[in-house]
Structure 1
């Protein structure tokens, strides 16, 4: 596995760049109107090993690194 990015003292990952080629879109429109707010949600992998959603600028959202 590659080097993990640094983490803040409270455990949050400092990396905002997703791993290239791991961006995927979750399309939940077929699940009904109650879940339609999930339509088009985009996820990507972080080098720390966590998968998290993306912001509008294709940066990773603030997330905690997985525990060993």
Structure 2
């Protein structure tokens, strides 16, 4: 039995709750203008193995599980 969340029929992960204590904010200011879209973005880990961005309400954005 796997600890990964279920996969929806459209291929996306069904989990919306991040793993507690894994939320982090990216500081990409020193990387330059090319990476400015990443600056200040919040990411967290999902039990499926991905690290998608968080929404304003602290939920995980829709993402597909890693293949392997």
> TM-score by structure 2 length?
0.85
Question: Which stretches in structure 1 are left out of the alignment for 5+ residues?
Answer: none
**Structure number with higher strand proportion:** 1
Question: Which stretches in structure 2 are left out of the alignment for 5+ residues?
Answer: none
Q: In the alignment, does 2:6 pair up with 1:6? A: yes
Q: Once superposed, which parts of structure 1, at least 4 consecutive aligned residues long, lie more than 3 Å away?
A: none
Distance 1:10 1:37 in 2: 27
Q: CA RMSD in A?
A: 1.5
Partner in structure 2 of residue 40 of structure 1: 40
Secondary structure of residue in 1 paired with 2:14: coil
Distance 2:38 2:56 in 1: 14
Q: In the alignment, does 2:55 pair up with 1:65? A: no
